[in-house]
Amino acid sequence: MSSPHAAPTLLADLGGTNVRFALADTGRVDPLLMDSVRRYRVRDFDTLADAIQQYFADTGHTARRATIAAAGRIADGETVQITNNPWAVVAHALQAKLGLDSVSLVNDFAAQGMAVPLLSAPYLASVGSQSLPQLDGNPTQTYVVMGPGTGLGVAGLLLRDGRWTVLETEGGHAGFAAHTSEDVEILHRLNARFGRVSNERMICGNGLVNLYLALADIAGQPPEEYSPEDITSHAVDGSDPLCVRTVETLAGIFGSVAGDLVLSLGGWNGVYLTGGVLPILLPWLRHGGFRQRFEAKGRFRETMEQVPTVAVIHPEPGLLGAAALARVQAGQPLLPPRG
């Protein structure tokens, strides 16, 4: 039950294109108040403080604390330069500007990770034949949380002695490792354009365009001036074979990278896939080369065949994770005590 004296916590999920706001009641087992969710375009505001003030004005809500999930590396728990938009956020300055009691900054994919313990089965979809992970089983568990949006987010989620913690990373910026002859050809072309090539150059919205242009060049085909949305729509309706090939290729590379992250983080209990582009990619992940390349890890193939990959289909996983963090900061557990 919620405490009648508990003030709501402001939540923000800040990405490269959009910022979403909501409120959390940390006294509830399901702390995210879905009817409080609003979305704004980053480009419409000069600062995060301006966007928050607009949210309060539009909704009539107020809050004394804020938990901000931001797409970027959090420096000393205090500042973040958003990776794919011009905003910089300084916690103490935001707190002073808005007259809040506290502001907590966290990486956006750390928030996505902390959402996992609050996700019920209707918000999860298996990618592959493996069963959904059992989060209330072994007291020691490790998961990978990753997914494409404006960029590629990566986090680790750990359960140790009944307590959930999240490992914040910038794994999306790790260097791309080519696994096939086609990967090598793609890498050559992207290297000529960008120099160093990270996984994010391919596994994100704009990554679809990068892949499309590379594949067009490999095929000797003049490219169209397609947006990511154009590529996916032509792939879905089958009207452009190169667009179909582009999305299939992204799905396969996504699988390779997800598998590499399992090896790197020891995420043997599973991979949770999320991010703004995931709903578009999901059919291709479930029926394409994602699992094939995920499992193709040489001497670890048999182990990787047992690792579940799960799509998160909750409408607001970033805000849910921010609400989970707010609940933890209020001293509340994420899972009911075991009987």
| The pLDDT value given to residue 2 | 42
Q: Residue 288's pLDDT is what?
A: 77
Q: CA 243 to CA 246: how far, in whole Å?
A: 5
Same domain, 30 and 156: no
Q: Are residues 174 and 294 in the same domain?
A: yes
Q: What is the pLDDT along the chain (339 residues), one digit of tens a residue?
A: 344 445 899 999 998 788 999 999 999 989 999 999 999 999 999 999 999 999 999 999 999 999 999 887 888 778 887 766 788 889 999 999 999 999 999 988 889 999 999 998 899 999 999 999 988 778 899 999 999 988 898 999 999 988 899 998 889 999 999 999 999 999 999 999 999 999 999 999 999 999 999 999 999 999 999 999 999 999 999 999 999 999 999 999 999 999 999 999 999 999 999 988 899 899 999 987 999 999 999 999 999 999 999 999 999 999 999 999 999 999 888 864 343
Q: Tokens at residue 28, please?
A: 């509830």
In this prediction, residue 72 carries a pLDDT of 79
2 inside domain: no
Residues 243 and 260 in one domain: yes
Q: Are residues 190 and 323 in the same domain?
A: no
**Total count of domains within the chain:** 2
DSSP bridge pairs for 157? 143, 166
303 & 321 share domain: no
User: Over the chain, what HEC string results?
Assistant: CCCCCCCCEEEEEECCCEEEEEEECCCCCCCEEEEEEEEEEHHHCCCHHHHHHHHHHHHCCCCCEEEEEECCCEECCCEEECCCCCCEEEHHHHHHHHCCCEEEEEEHHHHHHHHHHHCCHHHEEECCCCCCCCCCCCCEEEEEEEEECCCEEEEEEEEECCEEEEEECCHHHCECCCCCHHHHHHHHHHHHHHCCCEHHHCCCHHHHHHHHHHHHHHHCCCCCCCCHHHHHHHHHHCCCHHHHHHHHHHHHHHHHHHHHHHHHHCCCCEEEECCCCHHHHHHHHHHCCHHHHHHCCHHHHHHHCCCCEEEECCCCHHHHHHHHHHHHHCCCCCCCCCC
320 in the same domain as 291: no
Task: Examine the domain organization and report whether 185 and 323 are in the same domain.
Answer: no
Residue 1 lies in a domain: no
In a domain, 339, yes or no: no
Cα 179 to Cα 19, 176, 239, 265, 294, distances in angstroms: 36, 10, 29, 20, 11
Residues 322, 294 share a domain:
no
44 and 135 in one domain? no
Report the CATH number that the domain containing residue 94 is assigned in CATH: 3.30.420.40
Q: Count of CB atoms within 10 A of residue 309's CB?
A: 26
- For residue 84, the model assigns a pLDDT of 66
Q: What's residue 82's pLDDT?
A: 76
Output the pLDDT for position 6.
Answer: 59
| 135 and 77 within one domain | no
Q: Is residue 235 part of a domain?
A: yes
Do 154 and 203 lie in one domain? The reply is yes
Domain membership flag for residue 338 = no
Question: Which residues span the domain enclosing 281?
Answer: 120-313
Closest CA to 278 of 247, 242, 320, 234: 247
Residue 77 has what pLDDT?
78
pLDDT of 190: 97
What pTM value is reported for the model?
0.88
Q: What pLDDT does 290 receive?
A: 96
Give the CATH number, domain containing residue 290: 3.40.367.20
Task: Answer whether residue 337 is part of any domain.
Answer: no
**Per the domain annotation, does 4 fall within a domain?**
no
Do 154 and 288 have their domain in common? yes
Residue 335 included in any domain: no
Nearby residues of 248 by Cβ (< 8 Å), 6 or more positions away? 284, 288, 289
For the chain, give the number of residues: 339
CB 189 within 8 A of CB 202: no
Phi-psi map region of 320: left, alpha, beta (phi>0 left; psi -120 to 50 alpha): alpha
